[in-house]
Structure 1
Amino acid sequence: MRLPTWLAQHLAALRALLVFTVLLGIAYPLLMVAVGRLPGLDNRTGGSLVTVADTTVGSRLIGQAFTDADGNPVPRYFQSRPSAAGDGYDPTSTSASNLGPESVVDTLSDDPEAASASLLTEVCARSLAVGELEGVDGSRPYCTADGVGAVLAVFHRDGFTGPVTRVVSVNQTGTPFVATYEGVAVESARNGEDYRAMGGVITAIRGDAPAHPVVPADAVTASASGLDPHISPAYAELQVARIARERGLSRAEVESLVEEHTDGRALGFLGEPGVNVLELNLALDGK
């Protein structure tokens, strides 16, 4: 007996559903699990975990902070790059800050929950902190000496043109980083004021910082994932003197360890070399 067309179509769809469920929902996942158990791949599929004396201390693929209980860098260890993933290197909250190059004005408020720093101020503050830790010049262009974005709101008589009538240092409620701008005294900012909406032209001031800062870019910016386990060779080199001093090693010994734990470009030409911070710090502990 010939089945009705609508019933035949439904039965064909059901058969296709069952076949693809078996193939893609059962067989394919089991095949991938089996491939992941092959010698040479089993460690990677398990998260590339690093174990010391039967204790898992981290992963080669996920960065981590080397700080004390108060969040301060532990001087004996190489420091990782900043992370915007959760409270830092949280694999369940991988993310970037989503702040771009136009983020130069802080949100100032008496309420800590409402206040927020711009990307520029975050970079300035991090650079200053790294400079203090490593004993080098942490200054950067468009940053003030106290580590915030050097940004003014400039008010003109005719909107965007004409003589300057008022100037506000938008990221500072204290003493402005410059006293005058084009002959006009610079005011300190007040909490809750939106000087851009009031007609101020946002103007970043470069200052006299070197064009090529001593503190590398990856020391002051988070990666897109927030989980990058590597730092640049330049950032590692910046930390060598501190590590050698804290551990009583020669500079040559520490530099040799850095070189041993520097990964080259993928396939010889993709990306940039990177230093795996966890593996390097474990090698230091082994010394």
Structure 2
Amino acid sequence: MRSPTWIRQHLAALRALLVFTALLGLVYPLAVFAVAQLPGLKDKADGSLVKANGKLVGSASIGQSFADKDGNPLRQYFQTRPSNAGDGYDPTASGASNLGPEDVVDTLPDPKLVAAGKEDENARESLLTQVCERSRAVGELEGVDGSRPFCTPGGVGAVLAVFGPRAKDGTVPHPTRVVSLNEQEGAVKTPFVATYRGVKVEPARYGEDYARGLVVPVRGNAPAEPAVPADAVTASGSGLDPHISPEYARLQVRRVARARGVTPAQVEALVREDRTGRSLGFMGEPVVNVLRLNLALDAKYPARD
């Protein structure tokens, strides 16, 4: 006697469930695990863990901070890229800021909270100001010009709100008022430019709405190719990039050599040894792994006390 259709369908579904559970839940994971144990793959599968003197110090695949407890860069170490992963270099919160190139206007903090030593949770730095701030800090650390186009000397985005009648092309040929959007009243004595098209530039006031003004980024006199490379001022998509560009590594050589009491040539030799070329000879760019480089420095040229 033939079973009813609905019973046959349920039995077929049960058989399919058991087969795919065995294949995808057991066979496939075990096969992947077995392949991952092959020579050349095992280290990467285990997390590319790096040890020094028998102690686990990090992963060659995950960026980490080389700073003191107050967040100040340790001068004897090469610094990696900035990070937006959690509070910085948090592997459990990998991610980017998701801010784009048009994000140029800061949300200013409440001056009352600042005066009280408190943090305004509603305040936010634009991507432009983050880049300008980082570039200035790196320039000071490395002893080079940290200026960049569209950045003020104070390290914020050089952006104006220009008010007045608009022309057909959207410009404001005869401004009636000009405000430096990222320079807050009380925080700066004078804006980065004194006048714009004959109109005195004002610092921004907390709580004022400047949405009707035309947003005008000002390039300034910074060199077209800044001394501080792009990867020194921008976070990676994961926030955990373990590599820096050879250009950023070269920028840090003199500082690291001075801190370790050796010549720049000696440090440069280690940088060259650590440098990795393009993947398969054509993908990506040459890079330097910061953790491995710093460990090589510790082994060959220990930092002076």
Structure 2: stretches of 5+ with no match in the other structure? 114-119, 301-305
Identify the match of residue 209 of structure 2 among 194, 197, 221: 194
Letter in 2 for 1:281: N
Aligned equivalents of 1:266 and 1:50: distance in 2? 21
* Range moving further from structure 2, 96-105 or 159-168: 159-168
Alpha-carbon contact 1:107-1:192 (below 8 Å) kept: no
Identify the match of residue 218 of structure 1 among 214, 228, 231: 231
After TM superposition, the structure 1 = structure 2 runs for residues 72-221 of structure 1, keeping only pairs within 5 Å, are: 72-110=72-110, 111=113, 112-158=120-166, 160=170, 161=172, 163-173=174-184, 174=188, 175-196=190-211, 199-221=212-234
2:286 equivalent to 1:278: no
2:8 equivalent to 1:2: no
Alpha-carbon contact 1:153-1:167 (below 8 Å) kept: yes
Partner of 1:16: 16
Partner of 1:264: 277
Task: Report SS of the residue matched to 1:6.
Answer: helix
Aligned equivalents of 1:16 and 1:157: distance in 2? 71
TM superposition shift of 1:36: 1.6
Runs of 4+ aligned residues of structure 1 deviating over 6 Å after TM superposition are none
* Range moving further from structure 2, 37-46 or 206-215: 37-46
State the percentage of identical aligned residues. 67
Alpha-carbon contact 1:83-1:89 (below 8 Å) kept: yes
Aligned equivalents of 1:194 and 1:83: distance in 2? 31
Aligned equivalents of 1:193 and 1:224: distance in 2? 34
Task: Report SS of the residue matched to 1:168.
Answer: strand
Aligned equivalents of 2:298 and 2:106: distance in 1? 41
Letter in 1 for 2:265: A
* Range moving further from structure 2, 201-210 or 83-92: 83-92
TM superposition shift of 1:38: 2.2
Alpha-carbon contact 1:165-1:184 (below 8 Å) kept: yes
TM-score w.r.t. the length of structure 1 is: 0.97
TM superposition shift of 1:40: 2.6
Task: Report SS of the residue matched to 2:162.
Answer: strand
Query: Residue by residue, what CA displacement relative to the aligned partner does 1:207-266 show, whole Å, maximum 9, x if unpaired?
Result: 100010000000000001111000000000000111111111111111110010011100
Aligned equivalents of 2:66 and 2:173: distance in 1? 52
Task: Report SS of the residue matched to 1:171.
Answer: strand
After TM superposition, the structure 1 = structure 2 runs for residues 25-36 of structure 1, keeping only pairs within 5 Å, are: 25-36=25-36
Partner of 1:233: 246
Aligned equivalents of 1:60 and 1:142: distance in 2? 35
Task: Report SS of the residue matched to 1:164.
Answer: coil
TM superposition shift of 1:191: 1.1
Aligned equivalents of 1:181 and 1:2: distance in 2? 91
TM-score w.r.t. the length of structure 2 is: 0.91
Query: Residue by residue, what CA displacement relative to the aligned partner does 1:99-124 show, whole Å, maximum 9, x if unpaired?
Result: 10000000012152111100000000
TM superposition shift of 1:33: 1.3
TM superposition shift of 1:158: 4.4
Alpha-carbon contact 1:82-1:226 (below 8 Å) kept: yes
Structure 1: stretches of 5+ with no match in the other structure? none
For the aligned residue pairs, the C-alpha RMSD in angstroms reads 1.1
Letter in 1 for 2:210: Y
Query: Residue by residue, what CA displacement relative to the aligned partner does 1:16-73 show, whole Å, maximum 9, x if unpaired?
Result: 0100000100111111112222233222111010011221100000010100000000
Aligned equivalents of 1:47 and 1:136: distance in 2? 36
Aligned equivalents of 2:214 and 2:179: distance in 1? 10
* Number of aligned residue pairs: 285
